[in-house]
Amino acid sequence: MQTFKTGAVQANGIRFQFLEAGQGPLALCLHGFPDSPWSYRYLLPELAQAGYRAVAPFMRGYAPSEVAADGRYDTGTLAADAVALHEALGATGQAVLIAHDWGCAAAYGAAAQAPQRWRRCAFMSVPPLAVFGELALGYAQIKRSFYFWFFQMQLADAILAANDLAFIDELWADWSPGHDARDDLPHAKDCLRDPANLRAVLGYYRSLFDPARFGSHAGMQEQVAAWGRPVPQATLYLHGMNDGCIALDARSAEGVPAWLGPGSEVELVEGVGHFMLVEKPARINQRILQFLGRAA
């Protein structure tokens, strides 16, 4: 197993722990659910070799990063985390932003709210809010997204924790069909074994998909402000054609470029599912590095 330097930094009221490789302009790598920075274990060394300081933080609430004392896990706070991490890590405008799954919600917001901080972006598996919102209300996606609503129940805490977090094994199997996740699941589960961390991470869903607010005018305005504005940077967007979490087809993908900056690229990647970074690392790494270019 690859080893990395580890570190910690205070940002936006949270003590973030992170994995790190290399020196140079910052490449901030944000993970999603149910996942950990270890899904970047193949990409971090490649970024380092290309001249970046690659940093993959454990997102707020994911052990060993802190649980938020104020209980804030809304998308606006996640975007503010990414901006604050850029500041705390002493980065410049040559930084690049890489994100997967929930990390994308933070990254879309951070890229739009603080465009001077990021040179280029690469996002995976969650399209821009407007495209995601259109998909989320269709029958096919509602079936895939059952857990949005299931996680609103307090009973979800106990069910997820049962049998060594076996629920997470099933999500990975559904979302990346055929992928052997034996090297991935232990890292993801280690972030969630403490009930406080599990409750914190479910807070992401309980904030965004609160049935009392989701889809309301006020709720949608909050989401647009947080991560629904166009990203001005040139951005690479990748989505697996076998993704069992969010099914983005060619027609829906046509709507993605309108929300990304000039010079952006969108690709539906054959032969991978949701967790593409660990399914086909050589292929995905090459695509991301090719787009980002060498560090300045």
User: Which of 46-60, 214-228, 237-251 is predicted least confidently?
Assistant: 214-228
* Rounded Cα distance, 211 and 58, in Å: 28
Q: How many residues does the chain have?
A: 296
Question: Which residues touch 10 (CB under 8 Å, ≥6 apart)?
Answer: 16, 88
The CATH architecture to which 5-292 belongs is 3-Layer(aba) Sandwich (3.40)
pLDDT reading at 264 higher than 70: yes
The confidence score (pLDDT) of residue 78 equals 98
Listed in order, strand segments (DSSP E) in the chain are 5-11, 14-21, 26-30, 53-57, 95-100, 118-124, 234-240, 265-269
Instruction: Provide DSSP, 9-47.
Output: EEETTEEEEEEEE--SSEEEEE--TT--GGGGTTHHHHH
pLDDT reading at 2 higher than 80: no
pTM value is 0.97
112 vs 215: which has the higher pLDDT:
112
The confidence score (pLDDT) of residue 58 equals 98
Cα 191 to chain centroid distance, Å, stands at 15
**Token pair for 3:** 């080893």
Listed in order, strand segments (DSSP E) in 187-291 are 234-240, 265-269
The confidence score (pLDDT) of residue 108 equals 98
The confidence score (pLDDT) of residue 135 equals 93
The confidence score (pLDDT) of residue 3 equals 80
Query: What pLDDT digit, counting tens, does each position of 75-118 carry?
Result: 999 999 999 999 999 999 999 999 999 999 999 999 999 999 99
Query: What pLDDT digit, counting tens, does each position of 27-56 carry?
Result: 999 999 999 999 999 999 999 999 999 999
The confidence score (pLDDT) of residue 217 equals 85
Number of other residues whose CB lies within 10 A of the CB of residue 241: 15
Q: CA quadruple 72, 147, 223, 11: dihedral positive or negative?
A: positive
Domain boundaries, the chain: 5-292
**Token pair for 106:** 């933070």
Give the mean pLDDT of 179-199. Answer: 98
The confidence score (pLDDT) of residue 212 equals 84
